[in-house]
Amino acid sequence: MKHIAVIGAGTMGNGIAHVFAQNNYKVHLVDISEEAINKGLATISGNLDRLVAKDKISNETKALTLSNISTFTSIAKGVKNVDLVVEAATENVDLKLNIFKELDKEAPKNTILASNTSSISITKIASVTNRPEKVIGMHFMNPVPIMKLVEIIRGYNTSEKVTADIMTITKKLGKVPVTVNDYPGFVANRILMPMLNEAIETLYNGVAGVIEIDTVLKLGMAHPMGPLQLADFIGLDVCLSILNVLYDGFKNPKYAPCPLLVNMVQAGKLGVKSGEGFYDYSNTKKAETVSKQF
């Protein structure tokens, strides 16, 4: 596999395009928005500059990486003659189902179609294509150029050969693939989200404050950041929607989102991206002050 299309040039898409291009794959970066493509390319260029400044790559590698990326605003044009598509568009079921219908129609018959979805069923995505054995989850972690793990999700019909090919290409990117089966939340979010939800519930119950809860997990369990700060970084809306996927998928009340989380999302307090969540980020992206007394 040498030619890769990445659908979506946002947070994850530009990171995925970056790692493939830096490892000498020819990348077609596709987004419906010209602005998102330009922003994505600027992010890749800035991240490469940082690697050059740290002496991790040369200026030539930076130039080569950028030259490996071409951009498209049409899926049909972007996926012609590619061996693998990695879809990293907005997390929305209907949108992804439409994208996969189009990918199935426009990409060559043997092309593997991967999705970077955090929570949508790969089996469901595969069901709208005529090649369910070639549809697989490639769940990169944020920030993509730095994080080693890629959770590889085998849909109900994903073939062994496709799984093996995706494991191989993931290793060629210098990442570590871990294969899991296709059930709600896969492994990463099935374990992470209930922990974040429990931290929010602990706050909601008045057991301890924001700083106290985060400090217990940071200093007591050696987590690099506390769960409330992590929820702010992921986005409280994203946490809520993944918890709802777990709740709906398992029909188990243990995944019910904490009412405080629901309230905060309804109030537009989404974490870092909105400037306020459990912490106040109005002046900086750092979690320095608690946004209000809970």
Ligand X SMILES: NC(=O)c1ccc[n+]([C@@H]2O[C@H](COP(=O)([O-])OP(=O)(O)OC[C@H]3O[C@@H](n4cnc5c(N)ncnc54)[C@H](O)[C@@H]3O)[C@@H](O)[C@H]2O)c1
- In angstroms, what is the minimal distance from the CB of 209 to ligand X? 26
- 8 part of the interface to ligand X, by CB under 6 A: yes
Distance CA 29, CA 59 (A): 22
Q: Which is nearer to ligand X, 89 or 202 (CB)?
A: 89
Distance CA 112, CA 104 (A): 10
- In angstroms, what is the minimal distance from the CB of 15 to ligand X? 8
- Which residues, numbered 52-71, are part of the site for ligand X (CB under 6 A)? none
Task: Give me the half-sphere count of Cα atoms (radius 13 Å) on the Cβ side of residue 269.
Answer: 17
- Residue 8 — left, alpha, or beta (φ > 0 → left; ψ -120 to 50 → alpha)? left
Per DSSP, the chain holds a count of helices (H) and strands (E) of 12, 10
- Which residues, numbered 211-240, are part of the site for ligand X (CB under 6 A)? 234
- 117 part of the interface to ligand X, by CB under 6 A: yes
Which run of H or of E encompasses 38?
helix 34-53
Q: Which is nearer to ligand X, 69 or 202 (CB)?
A: 69
Distance CA 263, CA 275 (A): 16
Q: How many CB atoms lie within 10 A of CB 218?
A: 15
Q: Which is nearer to ligand X, 37 or 202 (CB)?
A: 37
Q: How many CB atoms lie within 10 A of CB 54?
A: 8
From 142, 181, 252, 266, residue interacting with ligand X (rule: CB under 6 A): 142
- Token pair, residue 245, equals 């996927």
From 1, 36, 64, 260, residue interacting with ligand X (rule: CB under 6 A): 36
Q: Count the residues of the shown chain that bind ligand X, applying the rule CB under 6 A.
A: 24
Catalytic residues: 118, 139, 151, 189
Quick one: which segment of 4-12, 52-60, 127-135, 224-232 binds ligand X (CB under 6 A)? 4-12
- 103 part of the interface to ligand X, by CB under 6 A: no
- 11 part of the interface to ligand X, by CB under 6 A: yes
- Token pair, residue 101, equals 């219908």
From 90, 168, 181, 215, residue interacting with ligand X (rule: CB under 6 A): 90
Distance CA 7, CA 125 (A): 15
Q: Which is nearer to ligand X, 202 or 228 (CB)?
A: 228
- 89 part of the interface to ligand X, by CB under 6 A: yes
- 184 part of the interface to ligand X, by CB under 6 A: no
Closest CA to 150 of 160, 166, 139, 163: 139
- In angstroms, what is the minimal distance from the CB of 286 to ligand X? 18
- Token pair, residue 278, equals 């459990």
Distance CA 70, CA 30 (A): 9
Q: Which is nearer to ligand X, 95 or 128 (CB)?
A: 95
- In angstroms, what is the minimal distance from the CB of 236 to ligand X? 13
Summarize as ranges the residues that interact with ligand X (CB under 6 A).
Answer: 7-13, 30-33, 36, 88-91, 95, 99, 116-118, 139, 142, 234
